[in-house]
Amino acid sequence: MRCRSISTISKAAGKKKSKGRGKGNPWLAGTLGRTVFGFSRSDCFLGARYRRLAKRRGPQKAIVAAGSSLLTVVYHLLSDPNARFHDLGADYCTTRIDKDRQARNLARHLEAITGQKLTIHDGQVIIHTP
């Protein structure tokens, strides 16, 4: 048995880690990518999903993620003959966010960072200095 130094042993123990998506049809992937790119500037749910993800993850990952969403929609439309497509709209995700809860969470994070006590009353932030 050969002895190897610690520096040559990989942390993954020689295993290859998955990239998160499997092998698929490259023609379908290309078509989905072009379709999502067409949606990217439109005022619809998939366009808003692409733009929201592209800000955080980058355009390539956003195309794959929005293409996956599009493929899910197409699957459900083809598998159920009674299914009809209803676009949720570009503001679907923003209207589902509770603004008061988001403000409370942000205030709690600011309290943790600054050490000051914050209170939100009627949309105004009140800072209590110790």
Residue 36 and residue 64 in one domain: yes
Whether 19 is covered by a domain: the verdict is no
Q: Among 52, 58, 26, 28, which residue's Cα sits nearest to residue 39?
A: 52
User: Which residues have CB under 8 Å from 43's CB, separation 6+?
Assistant: 90
Q: Among 90, 104, 75, 86, which residue's Cα sits nearest to residue 41?
A: 90
pTM exceeds 0.75: no
Residue 72 and residue 51 in one domain: yes
| Per-residue pLDDT of the chain in tens (130 residues, 90 and over written 9) | 455 544 444 456 778 777 666 678 889 989 999 999 998 888 999 999 999 999 999 999 999 999 999 999 999 999 999 999 888 888 888 888 788 888 888 888 988 888 888 888 777 777 777 6
Residue 64 and residue 104 in one domain: no
Q: Cα(87)–Cα(90) distance, rounded to whole angstroms?
A: 9
> What amino acid is encoded at 36 in this protein?
V
Show the domain range for 114.
97-130
Mapping DSSP to helix (H, G, I), strand (E, B) and coil, where does residue 118 land?
A: strand
